[in-house]
Structure 1
Amino acid sequence: MKLYGVTGWKNAGKTGLMVRLVSEFRGRGVRVSTLKHAHHSFDVDHEGKDSRRHRDAGAHQVLLSSGKRWALMTELDGPEPPLEALLDQMAPVDLILVEGWKRDRHPKVEAWRAETGRPLIAPDDPTIRAVAAKGQPGIDDRPVLDLDDTAAIADFIAGEVGL
């Protein structure tokens, strides 16, 4: 499986870019999956639902299944697993897009918006292969792509991973 990341600071446009990239690659016939990093606790089931009751009772894993989808929830007793361990859980596809994990060593595009007032991550991170920007990022050692030009960003990623 090919792996490519989208990283950047909060409100830089990472999630919007990820959603557009998934649609773009699917339109090209590429089977794509995603991993999203969350810096906080999150829930995919709701209070009072049977799956939540199983989890609240102490189940280590709860697998919820229907005719449309299934989801496996695993409670962690220790530290957050590394990206590689999570990738091992993914079904084979053509491309996995990863949102977040800015400190991991996989290749990435940095989403950057001038209005956030945050500096670029790219100058200190060689795994960032291009910047998808809204505004002038002031970097000249990597390609700068328009954050809104999803096709061009997808072309760049496809070229990088050999799709």
Structure 2
Amino acid sequence: MEVFGFAGYSGSGKTTLIEQLIPLFVAEGLKISLIKHTHHNFAIDQPGKDSYRHRAAGCSEVMVTSQYRWTLVHELRNEPEPSLKEQLARLAPCDLVLVESFKNEAIAKLEVHRTTIDKALLFPQDPNIAAIASDLPLETSLPQFRLNQPKIIAEFILQQTGLKQNG
């Protein structure tokens, strides 16, 4: 599995860009997975549903399965948050794992920057940032892309990960 990350502040457009890139990768015949980190407490089940009730009652893991999809919810219950490496090991085999918002991980990543967010750029402090996608040109020697260039960004990522060779 190849791994490529996306870093940037909330509201910069990471999710929107990734959403545009995924169909381009799939059209290349690649199997794509994604790991997204969040600092928020979240739940994929809802109060009153069986899975929620079982988890609230104390289950460490609850799996919900159907003919369309399955999901596994694992409650940490005071365990430490798993590392990106541990989470990658849990994924089924695929060609490319896109990683959103693991800013401090030592993986190749694209910085997504929007000037209206008015936050400092990450690349000067992060040697793992391979390129930048922004709404305006920036002062850097790194490869730069406009946010509205998903096809060009997809080609860059495929070359960066070795999933597509030059020429």
TM-score by length of 1: 0.97
- Alpha-carbon shift at residue 117 of structure 1 (Å): 0.8
Query: Structure 1 regions of 5+ residues with no counterpart?
Result: none
Letter in 2 for 1:130: A
Establish whether residue 98 from structure 1 lines up as the match of residue 93 from structure 2: no
- Alpha-carbon shift at residue 158 of structure 1 (Å): 0.4
Give matches, 1:8-23, under 5 Å.
8-23=8-23
Give matches, 1:61-80, under 5 Å.
61-76=61-76, 77-80=78-81
What value does the CA root-mean-square deviation take over the aligned residues? 0.8
Query: Structure 2 regions of 5+ residues with no counterpart?
Result: none
Letter in 2 for 1:56: A
- Alpha-carbon shift at residue 16 of structure 1 (Å): 0.4
Q: What per-residue deviation string (whole Å, max 9, x for no partner) do you get for residues 22-64 of structure 1?
A: 1111122111010111111000000000000110110000010
Give matches, 1:1-163, under 5 Å.
1-76=1-76, 77-139=78-140, 141-163=141-163
Q: Distance in 1 between matches of 2:137 and 2:147?
A: 11
- Alpha-carbon shift at residue 69 of structure 1 (Å): 0.3
- Alpha-carbon shift at residue 136 of structure 1 (Å): 2.3
Q: Distance in 2 between matches of 1:119 and 1:155?
A: 27
Q: What per-residue deviation string (whole Å, max 9, x for no partner) do you get for residues 58-90 of structure 1?
A: 000001000000000000022211100101110
Which runs of structure 1 show a deviation greater than 4 angstroms over 4 or more consecutive aligned residues? none
User: Are 1:120 and 1:137, in contact at CA under 8 Å, matched by a contact in 2?
Assistant: no
Identity of aligned residues (%): 40
Secondary structure of residue in 1 paired with 2:133 = strand
Corresponding residue pairs, total: 162
- Alpha-carbon shift at residue 21 of structure 1 (Å): 1.1
- Alpha-carbon shift at residue 17 of structure 1 (Å): 0.8
